[in-house]
Structure 1
Amino acid sequence: MLSDKSAQVLLTKYSPTTMSERAREPIVAVNRSSATMNAIKAYILNHALKPGDPLPTESALCEDLQVSRSSVREALRKLEALDIVRVHQGRGSFVGSMSLEPMVETLVLRFALDTESGAESLRQVVSMRRFIDLGVADSLVSAMKGTKNPDLEELVEAMVTKASRSEKFTEEDMAFHTGLVSYLDNELVTQINASMWLIHQTFIPELNESSAESLLRTARAHESMLLTAQDGDVEAYREAVIEHYEPLAGLLDMDS
């Protein structure tokens, strides 16, 4: 955990005010790539740019930041890898979508390389998903109380049907959870939820958890989550969330 002093250093380093001041300073040779990246991020903040908005040309950035074209190009390439910038040949550079895709790829690689811990990586991902679902329970149920959701009902019906045939329901599962969190009107929660789900699905094929009983139990838990949320019953919704993860949690020897 970060100390109070360390946290304050990070907050100061990446605050809009600090980055704005740095954007007006000549960039020194030491750690020039990182400094150029920070200056471009400061430009995005200062001008309140949104995904898809154009950035200055390479020539303009070189002049404003007093760095070489190679430094600007290197910074843009690194920012593109982080989905902060999108570079289109012949059109210029634009603000990226700033999705969590880079984080997903990093975590997938990290867990894939973690051969010593085996199922521990999946336990961590499943725990994170469960924490998120339980953490948003109050807000989600409050938002969904009294609503009707025929699209989600169709997804639940499809999951139950497939589970009855011992078939997985991956696409329906993803669409269901995306539909639930859409009620929160919180883009960050939506992205984190989707990211954890994708990482989860990357590792789940390694586990032999697809018995007809566990699949049907999980599908029915999705149904309970939807019904209890629409009824406005937070406690019952939480119980349904726990039930949703119980087959996998048991297989992974996780605490309830």
Structure 2
Amino acid sequence: MAREQAPVKPVAPEPRAARQPLRQEVVDGIKTYILSNKLRPGDPLPTEPALCEALGASRSSVREAIRILTALDIVEVRHGYGTYVGRLSLSALVESLTFRGLLSPDDDFQVMSDLIEVRELFERGMAERLVGALGGEEADRLQVFVDTMRAAGAGDAHDFMAADRSFHAQLVAPLGNDLIGQLSAAFWEVYVIVAPHLDVFTSEHGDTTVANHQRIVDAVRARDAGEFAAALRDHYEPVRQRIAEARARR
């Protein structure tokens, strides 16, 4: 349930010499209000006139600041209801990486390489924690995704990729770390948008991908962190190699 908004206190201005542009002052003032009142996603923000009075800013400046913070998912405008603290997701990161990946033939391969490296870093670096956190029920869920990938094969790339994505989301879910979960989801958002523009993934690689995912599940069941990490390494290495080969063909 959204909490009631706290009284709006005027934000003390910075010394003139140290001041930032007015737009950034208003953006920072709204963020300061959220932090000082310990607001959570879904909590209401003050009305526009109240923010104007507290920040000593015009309506146009406040509205511009709200637009900036909305783009960053820090605030959410619900038309007819008001302005609320946003989901604080990584949507801005997704947009930035996706645009970079689509902007030029060189950047798209670099984005893909960076994403693969960071995803592997997360999963392999936490092998022991993940194997310890993943129980029998989680292993059963992972197996369902592997079976879906196997059934989809080369004939249904959409279902194959959706199952692959769900597999890796389930892999880190038991950690209960929202940031890791959001980052994993953000990487996949960029991946599914940029990957189709590259001549990297072909049907012949489906069997290898399924086999490596099956190894990961088997390692979870065996509580074998070493095999778990090795399976992840063998899963990501061919992907990096195919990216490098496709980049060389450009």
**What TM-score does the superposition give when structure 2 sets the normalisation length?**
0.85
Residues in 1 aligned to 2:144 and 2:45: alpha-carbon distance in whole angstroms: 43
Moved more, 84-93 or 24-33: 24-33
Give the aligned partner of residue 49 of structure 2: 59
SS at match of 2:212: helix
Three-state SS of the structure 2 residue aligned to 1:83 is coil
What root-mean-square deviation, in Å, do the aligned CA atoms of Structure 1 and Structure 2 show?
Answer: 2.2
What's the counterpart of residue 124 of structure 1? 114
Partner in structure 1 of residue 32 of structure 2: 42
Contact 1:166 1:211 (8 Å CA) reproduced: no
CA apart distance, 1:126: 1.6
Q: Which runs of structure 2 are paired with 1:1-256 in the superposition (5 Å)?
A: 24-26=11-13, 31-117=21-107, 119-144=109-134, 149-163=139-153, 165-168=154-157, 169-253=160-244
**Residues paired across the two proteins, number:** 232
Amino acid in the other structure paired with 1:112 = L
Amino acid at match of 1:171: A
CA separation of 1:212/1:63 partners in 2, compared to 1, >3 Å: closer, same or farther?
closer
* 1:185-217 per-position Cα deviation (integer Å, ceiling 9, x unaligned): 000000001111221222222333444441111
Structure 1 match to 2:6? none
Residue aligned with 1:138, SS:
helix
- Whole-angstrom distance in 2 between the partners of 1:123 and 1:154: 28
4+ residue stretches of structure 1 with deviation over 6 A?
A: none
Which amino acid is 1:82 matched to?
A: L
1:231 & 1:130 partners in 2: Cα distance? 21
Partner SS state of residue 246, structure 1: helix
Contact 2:138–2:170 at 8 Å: present in 1 too?
Answer: no
Q: What SS does structure 1 have at the residue aligned with 2:105?
A: coil
3-state SS of paired residue (2:76): strand
Q: Give structure 2 stretches of 5+ with no counterpart.
A: 1-8, 246-250
Looking at structure 1, the residues matched to 70 and 108 of structure 2 have their Cα atoms a distance apart, in angstroms, of 32
- Which deviations, in whole Å up to 9, do the C-alpha atoms of 1:155-191 show, x marking residues without a partner? 111111222x554301101111111111110000000
Deviation of the 1:252 alpha carbon = 2.1
Return the alpha-carbon distance in structure 2 between the equivalents of residues 181 and 30 of structure 1.
40
Aligned in 2, Cα 1:46/1:30: closer, same or farther, shift over 3 Å? closer
Identity %: 34
Task: Write out per-residue CA displacement over residues 70-113 of structure 1, whole angstroms, 9 at most, x where no aligned residue.
Answer: 11111111100100001122211100001001110111101211
TM-aligned CA distance change 1:117 to 1:174, over 3 Å: closer
**Take 1:148 and 1:96, find their aligned partners in 2: how far apart are those partners?**
30
How far 1:146 sits from its partner (Å)?
Answer: 5.4
Farther off after superposition, 145-154 or 80-89: 145-154
Q: Secondary structure at the match of 1:132?
A: helix
